[in-house]
Each structure stands twice: as C-alpha cells, then as structure tokens.
Amino acid sequence: MRLFYEKLTFSILFLFLLGFSPAYAQNSFGLEFGHNWRSISGGAFDYDSIRISTISGGDTGEPFGGIFYEYQIGKRISLHNKLNYGSRFIGYAVYNNFADCQFCPVRKIATVGVGSLAFEILPQVTILSYSNFKLNIFGGVNSTFNFVKNEADLYFQNQPGVSSVFNSLDSVVDPITFSFAYGASLEIWRIMLWAKVNPPASFTNSIEINDQEYDFDNSWGFVSFSLGYKFFSLKRRHY
C-alpha cells in the first residue's frame, strides 16, 4: 500500500507539470492554522496473557499550523500543496487478561505522543469564481513523517508482562504514513478557508515485544478546518 501511495504522489506531480500552461502561470503562498478531529480504530490484540485495547473513537483533536503553496496551471486548475505540523495522541489500555480477577483487570493506560509533519499534494479545481471570491474542490495524497515522543520506561510491580508490552508501545507508529485527502476551500480576497477529510489509513503494522514481532494494525482518520492568509502572489508575464 505504501508503494501505491508513493507512485500516486509522483504520478500527480508528473501529470500536472506535463499539463502546465505558461499563459496562466502563477505562484502564491501563505500561512495556515487549523484544528483536526481524529478518529482511531484498532480493536483488541492478545499477546500471550496480555491484551492491548485501542482506545477508539474521536476526541477533541489537536491544533496544527504551517504553510501552503499554490501553483496555477490553467484558468480553473491549480496544484495546491500544504506543509503542516501538529501533535497527535493515541491511547491504549494494557492489562493481564488471564489474571485471577479476569473481569476486573487493572488497566494501565498508555498515551503515545506523536509529532507529525504532513506534506500534501492536492490538485484543485475552481468551480465558482466571481470578483475576489473563489470556491474550490480538491483531492490528492498526504505523506506524513511521524516523530514519536519517547517516554521513560515504566515498570509495574508483579506485572512484568504488562510492563514489557506497555513500554513497547513507543515504537509502534510507522515513521512515514500515507493517506488520501479531499475537501473544499473558499477564497475571499487573500483569506482562505478549508474543510478537509483524511479518510482512515493505517499508521501501525506491528509491535515488537521482547525482540519478537507481532501484528498490530491500527488506523486513524481526520476531519479538519483551517484558516489561512495568502500573503504573496507572483504572476509571470509572457510577451
């Protein structure tokens, strides 16, 4: 799947550069700040007597910020690129599922903090344009570099198995993840408003416990709203 996203990313760039028309060439860039709401899915995973339950569902989300760059290709077609950074937090419950108190296990809650640098390539079409007002729709790919915020290992008394699994969660997030992205934007003079969806995509594949690797598949998806300001625009003149 990762190879598919990589090929799709380069294909989009190639096709749009191939279709470049100097008559409409225009570059613009600016700042963007917003907030995303995250949904996590994963389920429960058993490793011998230890169970990991992904704390699924949505939450209040996290803020993000960055820059955007837009390259006009045709009268109504452009290539919109984003580079944003934000933090993400994933929760897991870890407990001994075969303990004597099977129906009241003591759960240890692990929170994995991730710093994410996301780069998006979004072909964009203007469906309505009047004076200084534009309504656009876009769709493309997202490539995200994930930096896990490692915490000091914790050890729980008389629970070596829970401790090992709990401390292994720092390494489960893939360093690079891919997903689709689509949405709409409004442009009023230099003010930009975006509504965007990143449908669920995998961000973990395996977990290593005591030097042994196990399957561990979790997905995250996002809905975001953001505000931007286009502070520079450069038009190319052709004679």
Break the chain into its structural domains and give their ranges. 2-189+201-227
Give the separation between CA 110 and CA 94, rounded to whole angstroms. 7
Pick the CATH number of 2-189+201-227 from 2.40.160, 3.30.565, 1.10.40, 1.10.357: 2.40.160
C-alpha distance from residue 1 to each of 4, 93, 95 (Å): 5, 28, 32
Average pLDDT, the chain: 84
b (16+ CB within 10 A) / e for 110-149: bebebebebebbbbbebeeeeeeebebebbbbbbbebebe
Is pLDDT at 7 greater than 80 in this prediction? no
Asked whether the CA dihedral 103, 105, 109, 110 is positive or negative, the reply is negative
Six token digits for residue 43: 């389920």
Six token digits for residue 160: 């070596």
Give the separation between CA 52 and CA 97, rounded to whole angstroms. 9
103 compared with 121, residue with greater pLDDT: 121
pLDDT band at residue 98, thresholds of 50, 70 and 90? confident
pLDDT at 11: 52
184 compared with 167, residue with greater pLDDT: 184
Dihedral through CA 133, CA 136, CA 199, CA 17, nearest 10?
Answer: -130
Q: How many CB atoms neighbour CB 236 within 10 A?
A: 11
